[in-house]
Structure 1
């Protein structure tokens, strides 16, 4: 499905990013694995190779424009071009009510979750336009489409990603580049466990309303998402089969978002 495609996957050191990278490898793609953790992305690159793809690892901080320019240049040098950018790198940000959030923590969340994808798109743009099947897939969140109590910095960043997606889709679309956002629901793993634990702690904090998610919030009783489901959707959007899907936010969320 992705034979010969060259993809740059940020945040590829663990979780969804690692799953996306290895899934692309299993479909025959060339994958550049980017993240701040050198040892972890080396491991991901080995997993991509084991899955059947070609891979390199490039240590990258997506908030550093020089790093972003360098990883894009390395991608083009190694594989001759760039067909797909997957903006997966992100952080959860503070889990606090608004009056307890430090402004620097708010800014840092935007730097990673919004400025990072912007810089990657900025430096990848010319190569995506030159591709016969260019695509950008942003990894968003249901927090970009519904209230996320005690997650204001995160929700703001993911809503911004929706606006970025729709605008880029029209800027790049004349050259056949598709731009979409995937919105995972709660994904099994350590991050969601940490958030749930922190929300529970807030029950004892003055002026804080703890938030919870349960079966009543979803259309399906089995509402926890698996990273592999997210990765398969990303691969579809990057493939020729997804060439007429653009400017969309696609929920993998058991029905938690309805628009």
Structure 2
């Protein structure tokens, strides 16, 4: 789909994206690049990074890939510094690296729980921590007249209520959302850095959807969703472009759910016609019942 934004809304910006070489992260990388940004992607698999950079370069997007694990502070520091050395500055940090799998709480080992927490929540904080000196107003590589940078954290809607077999990710994403709000408060005030989040729902053609809703599991997610469809990676990327651009300059500490309203919905147990019939019967009984007459001698 064509973008509704001008092609230069991120012109001159430098963005570093963890998990930016695949899935939703790669779509954000692509759209940021198409809208004028230079792109650095960070990940653990060199072949995936190389393919992503090649694809971005083929679109005329300045891009570079750096191997690194967000769980390791030394990797985070090295990649952030390498990005600034390569492009001269850092304007945008997107934390999209994540881990996930289906498992019941009793079958999940403490180590498995810790691994997801480390990637999603600790990794997000670690990247923010190492990027601060480059993103803050007047920071290294930034002109004295420029504003602070922008951080975008990708979470989920799993923890808004509760989710089957997702206790580890629900906990991790709840921590990411809390981190987003707290950094928005502290770093928005002290350093003019905007920090926002996007909470995707089920997004088609992603590893997350294939893992959480595999073909082996019979689900009615589409018919239960208010919009009767899964989202597209493009939907997430367009929201990211909006938040990162000047159009979102007064948005700070917000977490935008993008799931078609799925987190609000519940399975429809009765059809509309059945509801109308039941409602009429209930109203008829209500009108026929005596009003204000005690049902007990007490």
Alignment: residue pair count: 246
Unaligned runs of 5+ in 1: 201-210
SS in 2 for 1:183: strand
- CA distances 1:41-79 after superposition (whole Å, capped 9, x unpaired): 122112222333211110111111110000000011111
**Separation in 2, partners of 1:199, 1:139:** 27
Contact map agreement 2:202 2:259 (CA 8 A) in 1: yes
Q: How far 1:212 moved relative to its partner?
A: 4.7
**1:21 paired residue number:** 29
Cα pair 2:44 2:67 within 8 Å, conserved: yes
SS of 2:213 mapped into structure 1: helix
Q: How does 1:1-259 map to 2 (within 5 A)?
A: 1-92=9-100, 94-130=101-137, 131=142, 132-174=147-189, 175-189=191-205, 190-197=207-214, 200=217, 212=219, 214-215=221-222, 217-222=224-229, 224-258=230-264
How many angstroms does 1:198 deviate by? Answer: 8.7
Q: Which deviates further from its counterpart, 228-237 or 114-123?
A: 228-237
Q: Is the 8 A contact 1:34 1:57 kept in 2?
A: yes
CA contact (8 A) 2:15 2:38 kept: yes
Deviation (angstroms), 1:111: 0.6
Higher mean C-alpha displacement, 156-165 vs 36-45: 36-45
| Mapped contact 2:102–2:211 kept (Cα < 8 A) | no
> Aligned equivalents of 1:43 and 1:139: distance in 2?
22
- Contact 1:25/1:49 (CA < 8 Å) preserved in 2? no
Q: 1:191 to 1:215 in 2, by over 3 A?
A: closer
Alignment partner of 1:230: what SS? Answer: helix
Q: CA offset at residue 213 of structure 1?
A: 5.2
CA contact (8 A) 2:83 2:89 kept: yes
**Rg comparison, structure with higher value:** 2
Deviation per CA, 1:105-134, whole angstroms, max 9, x where unpaired? 001010101111010000001111135351
Cα distance, 1:39 vs structure 2: 1.6
Rounded Cα–Cα distance in structure 2 between residues aligned with 1:105 and 1:199: 23
Q: Secondary structure at the match of 2:136?
A: helix
- Of residues 170-179 and 160-169 in structure 1, the stretch that sits farther from structure 2 once superposed is 170-179
Structure 1 contact 142–256 (Cα < 8 Å) conserved: no
The whole-number CA distance in structure 1 between the counterparts of 2:162 and 2:241 is 28
Pick 1 or 2: higher relative contact order, CA cutoff 8 A, min separation 6.
1
What's the TM-score, normalizing by structure 2? 0.78
Higher alpha-carbon deviation: 36-45 or 162-171:
36-45
Query: Contact 1:9/1:33 (CA < 8 Å) preserved in 2?
Result: yes
Moved over 4 A (4+): none
Aligned-residue RMSD, C-alpha: 1.7
SS in 2 for 1:197: coil
